[in-house]
Amino acid sequence: MSRSVPLAVTPEVLPGMAEALEAAGATLVEPSDADALVWTSPGQPDRLAALLEPRHRWVALVIAGVERWLASGVVDDARTWTCARGVYADGVAEHALALLLAAARRLPAYARAQTWRQLDTERLRGETVTILGAGAIGRRLAELLAPLGVRLVAVTRHGDRLPGFDRTYPSSALGEALPSTRYLVLTAALTDETRGIVDGAVLDALGPRGALVNVARGELVDTGALVERLRDGRLGAALLDVTDPEPLPDGHPLWALDNVLITPHVANPNAGNPWDSHLAELLEHLAGNVSAFAEGRPLAGTIDLTAGY
């Protein structure tokens, strides 16, 4: 039998959140009286740390990428921490698809053109798209791509076979996936193991007909190596929603290259908060975890301190 969960929502209660959480079995209380916290700011780990008490057995973050929270030291093993992993998958996958189509149709160059000229363009059908980090975003992207007739390859931590993919490789064998890859899409979490995983050797393996799409984190890529290969034609194109550094400074070499398309970290459509376009999904995720917490079941989106996400 489930029980009522004393739960605090702070620093603000999002629209519809109180009703959704109460319907799932929560009783909204002050942080000092709560067994669980929902932290509704995308940042401010120091402010959250100041609120934490031993009685808080579960803390829910409303963001999906948690590397900066882990680096802050506030995420501990004294309680269960969850993030909104998978909540924003639809929006980010849609953006990744848009960037892939832009690469195939040479939109970066066409957007800069000041005279009428035709470039070689292509369809995605028949090409190999390799998705590095086939979590919720990568799997959703694979679903969107399937009707377009591409060959889908996944690269994951362990390389376990995944439905919907023609082949899966472990990240340690990334190089084996690249010779046939035309488009490499990054949807992986940023961890110690994945930082800089797309280095010069990976970019060389993609080659002059290959394109890199990054909707994950800029630090997955060696930016210096990327610029060099885009400049001299060793890599065909890069379509980036995230960069390293970020924001990308004015005057950075990436801005001037006609085989580059940059969007300013907007793969998850929002007006300043990550949940704006996915509030219904976020509330469903949190409500499901309230019910699970009340019944002693595993929580969705649990942060793994060892894995780093």
Please answer whether residues 78 and 101 qualify as being in contact, where contact means their C-beta atoms are separated by less than 8 angstroms: no
Of the candidates 67, 94, 246, 284, the residue annotated as catalytic is: 246
Task: State the Cα–Cα distance between residues 136 and 1, nearest whole angstrom.
Answer: 31
Please answer whether residues 282 and 255 qualify as being in contact, where contact means their C-beta atoms are separated by less than 8 angstroms: no
Confidence (pLDDT) at 271? 67
This model's pTM is above 0.85: yes
The angle that helices 89-104 and 136-145 make with each other, rounded to 10 degrees, is 50
**Would you state the structure tokens that stand for residue 150, as one six-digit string?**
């591409």
Confidence (pLDDT) at 267? 94
Q: Residues, the chain, total?
A: 309
Q: Is 189 helix (H, G, I), strand (E, B) or coil?
A: coil
Which residue spans within 165-298 are E strands per DSSP?
167-170, 183-186, 211-214, 237-240, 260-262
Walking along the chain (309 residues) 10 residues at a time, the average pLDDT comes out as 87 96 97 97 95 97 95 96 96 97 96 94 96 96 98 96 96 94 97 96 97 98 98 98 98 97 92 82 98 97 94
Cα dihedral across residues 139, 242, 129, 172: positive or negative = negative
> Is the bond preceding residue 245 a cis peptide, omega within 30 degrees?
yes
Confidence (pLDDT) at 2? 63
Confidence (pLDDT) at 201? 97
- 246 a catalytic residue: yes
Confidence (pLDDT) at 273? 77
Nearest-5° angle of CA 182, CA 154, CA 175?
A: 65
Residue ranges of domains in the chain, CATH in brackets: 5-87+272-295 (3.40.50.720), 89-262 (3.40.50.720)
User: According to DSSP H, which parts of 62-206 are helical?
Assistant: 67-72, 89-104, 107-112, 136-145, 174-177, 200-206
Confidence (pLDDT) at 121? 93
Of the candidates 79, 167, 265, 281, the residue annotated as catalytic is: 265
Confidence (pLDDT) at 232? 97
Task: State the Cα–Cα distance between residues 188 and 137, nearest whole angstrom.
Answer: 9
Task: State the Cα–Cα distance between residues 46 and 52, nearest whole angstrom.
Answer: 10
Task: State the Cα–Cα distance between residues 94 and 100, nearest whole angstrom.
Answer: 10
Nearest-5° angle of CA 74, CA 223, CA 253?
A: 125
With tokens 């610029």, the residue in question is 227
- 56 a catalytic residue: no
Confidence (pLDDT) at 264? 95
Nearest-5° angle of CA 134, CA 147, CA 260?
A: 60
- 265 a catalytic residue: yes
With tokens 């039998």, the residue in question is 1
Containing 48, the helix (H) or strand (E) segment is helix 45-49
**Would you state the structure tokens that stand for residue 220, as one six-digit string?**
């997955």
The Cβ-side half-sphere exposure at 246, using a 13 Å CA radius, reads: 18
Task: State the Cα–Cα distance between residues 141 and 164, nearest whole angstrom.
Answer: 11
Of the candidates 56, 85, 95, 217, the residue annotated as catalytic is: 217
